[in-house]
Amino acid sequence: MEPDLSLEIDGLRLENPVMLASGTFGNAVDCYAFADLNRLGAIIPKTVTLSPRIGNAPPRTVETAAGLLNSIGLDNEGLEGFCTRLWRGLASLTCPVIVSIAGKTDEEFVELARAISKLEGVKAIELNLSCPNVAGGIDFATDPARCAAVVGKVRRVYDGPIFAKLTPNVTDATAVAKAAEAAGASAITAVNTLLGMSVDWRRRRSRLGQVFGGLSGPAIKPIALRIVYQVAQAVSIPVVAAGGITTVDDAMEFFVVGASAIQVGTASFYRPTAAWEILDALPRALKELGARSLREIVGTFVGSSVSCEIGS
Ligand SMILES: Cc1cc2nc3c(=O)[nH]c(=O)nc-3n(C[C@H](O)[C@H](O)[C@H](O)COP(=O)(O)O)c2cc1C
């Protein structure tokens, strides 16, 4: 018998735990002729903001060792463009679509959530509280009180599942996660990109159009893994992991430390079928642990097994 991959987050049933991360596969439903989006647990299109944004000056991406540094700047068509144009294609999918939103203020988040909740077929909202490429964009997830305020206000206008997406650019993500949970979040998504720089020393300039960018890809996986582990121990709502997940082994590491689901981001740029490869390989990995369901292995990490005697 094949292991049961399904899970439920605040009433939202997902057939499997594999999602595509916001901003890393566009909104171009029609471009996905090479793989069936409907097979995935869920997809999260590019973050939507109230007004259209043209994003930051190029270059917007630069490769680093084992990672990608980006300063896209939330380039998107804005709420109206999303509702009138992009949603049509996304609504035709049978897999759950989780709509990612970002506001500059609490009120913008509320306005976005209210409008998005009226679209037929939206299954959940992910609050991008943590975009490092927009002025002010990082503030919400660096401060527990600010995070709680946004989540709480959105909760009052939207009764579906709310995913609070956190930043890794803090000393203690658990405080922010706990605040989001207390304010009504249904799940925590951890993590967004890490703030970084890339410098062309000959020109004494940034390789990006901006000074800072967000680092993603395999380079950040150990950090994301540590944060997911810490957050999963601190909250009782599900944790959705993102950060360098490229293979089924990566995914399994995150499940074992406490993730209920995973998001594939940067890997899709260089292996567009990565999410499907992970999905197809999951049953075998679970069987290797003797598990009949994904649920059985979530959070089963047993801690350090190496004893280290200092001074001996
Ligand atoms: C080019 C690019 C654009 C992104 N855009 C968004 C976005 O619009 N909204 C968001 O919440 N996260 C965005 N992210 C962050 C990813 O969703 C993900 O959280 C992060 O990259 C870590 O996962 P990864 O290492 O698998 O890419 C973006 C990442 C990249 C690389």
Q: Note the pLDDT tens digit of each residue in 53-66.
A: 999 999 999 999 99
What pLDDT sits at residue 46? 95
Tell me, yes or no, if 83 is annotated catalytic.
Answer: no
- Percent over 90 (pLDDT), the chain: 88
**HSE (CB half, 13 Å, CA atoms) of 258?**
22
At residue 132 the predicted structure's pLDDT band, cuts being 50, 70 and 90, is: low
- Could you give the CA distance from residue 204 to residue 22 in angstroms, rounded to a whole number? 32
- Could you give the CA distance from residue 36 to residue 58 in angstroms, rounded to a whole number? 32
Rounded average pLDDT over 88-92:
92
What pLDDT sits at residue 35? 86
pLDDT tens readout for residues 177-189: 999 999 999 999 9
What pLDDT sits at residue 303? 84
What pLDDT sits at residue 308? 60
What pLDDT sits at residue 181? 98
- Could you give the CA distance from residue 181 to residue 297 in angstroms, rounded to a whole number? 23
For residue 138, pLDDT over 60 is answered with: no
Burial of 171 (0-12, 13-18, 19+ CB in 10 A): exposed
At residue 157 the predicted structure's pLDDT band, cuts being 50, 70 and 90, is: very high
The backbone torsions φ and ψ at residue 162, rounded to the nearest 5 degrees and listed phi first, read -115, 120
pLDDT tens readout for residues 192-246: 999 999 999 999 999 999 999 999 999 999 999 999 999 999 999 999 999 999 9
What pLDDT sits at residue 34? 80
47 Cβ inside 6 Å of ligand 1: yes
220 Cβ inside 6 Å of ligand 1: yes
Two structure tokens written together for 179: 């605040």
Two structure tokens written together for 95: 């897999």
What pLDDT sits at residue 312? 52
Domain spans of the chain? 7-297
- Residue range 7-297, CATH number: 3.20.20.70
- Could you give the CA distance from residue 140 to residue 173 in angstroms, rounded to a whole number? 12
What pLDDT sits at residue 54? 94
Atom of ligand 1 nearest to the CA of 47: 8
Buried b (16+ CB within 10 A) or exposed e, 93-113: bebbbbbbbbbbebebbbbbb
**HSE (CB half, 13 Å, CA atoms) of 87?**
20
218 Cβ inside 6 Å of ligand 1: no
Average pLDDT, the chain: 94
What pLDDT sits at residue 105? 92
> CA torsion, points 302, 306, 310, 312, in degrees to nearest 10?
150
Pair 32, 20: CB distance under 8 Å: no
> CA torsion, points 273, 274, 275, 280, in degrees to nearest 10?
90
Among 266, 268, 269, 271, the mutation site with the greatest number of ligand 1 atoms within 8 A of its Cβ is: 266
For residue 293, pLDDT over 70 is answered with: yes
Among 18, 20, 22, 68, the mutation site with the greatest number of ligand 1 atoms within 8 A of its Cβ is: 22
What pLDDT sits at residue 33? 75
For residue 136, pLDDT over 70 is answered with: no
pLDDT tens readout for residues 1-52: 899 999 999 999 999 999 999 999 977 676 677 889 999 999 999 999 999 9
What pLDDT sits at residue 130? 82
Minimal-distance CA residue to ligand 1 atom 14: 23
For residue 129, pLDDT over 90 is answered with: yes
